[in-house]
Amino acid sequence: EVQLVESGGGLVQPGGSLRLSCAASGFTFSNYWMSWVRQAPGKGLEWVANIRQDGSQKYYVGSVKGRCTISRDNAKNSVYLQMNSLRADDTAVYYCAREGYNFGNFDQWGQGTLVTVSS
C-alpha cells in the first residue's frame, strides 16, 4: 500500500523557518517526481514545488521562489521542503504528493501537515 506521511508542521513566527518532511513507502520512491501542494484556510489547492527523481530538476511556484527549497533523499525514501522567511500567507495545510501518470498529475497524496505563521 502506498503511503505518504508528512511531518514538521507547526506554529512559527513571521520571518521564521520550518522544514517539512514526507516519508514514502509502498512504492519505488526513486522512480517518481514528487511535489508539495498546499491549501490555505478557506482557499483552494495550490501547487508549491516539485523535484525530479534524481533531484537534478526542481520547479517552484512564484510566491515561494527564493524562500523555499525542495530536496529528497532516495536512500531514506523522503522528500523535504525547507521554508524560510515565512509569511502569514504561507499558513496552510501542506500535502506531499506523488506525480504519477504525467507531469503535474498527482496520483497519491499524504494527509497533510499544518503550518501556521503567526506572532
Check if the beta carbon of residue 108 is closer than 8 Å to that of residue 5.
Answer: no
Strand duo 18-25 + 78-83: pairing: antiparallel
**With binding defined as CB under 8 A, does residue 27 bind other proteins?**
no
State which residue, 27 or 59, has the beta carbon closest to other proteins.
Answer: 59
Q: Select from 32, 76, 37, 25 the least CA-distant residue to 55.
A: 32
Count interface residues toward other proteins (CB under 8 A).
26
Check if the beta carbon of residue 54 is closer than 8 Å to that of residue 44.
Answer: no
Site string for other proteins, 68-107 (x = CB under 8 A): ---------------------------x-x--xxxxxxxx
Q: Which of 40, 47, 67, 77 binds other proteins (CB under 8 A)?
A: 47
State which residue, 13 or 105, has the beta carbon closest to other proteins.
Answer: 105
Cα–Cα distance for residue pair 12/31, rounded to 1 Å: 33
By the criterion CB under 8 A, which residues form the site for other proteins?
Answer: 35, 37, 44-47, 50, 59-62, 95, 97, 100-112
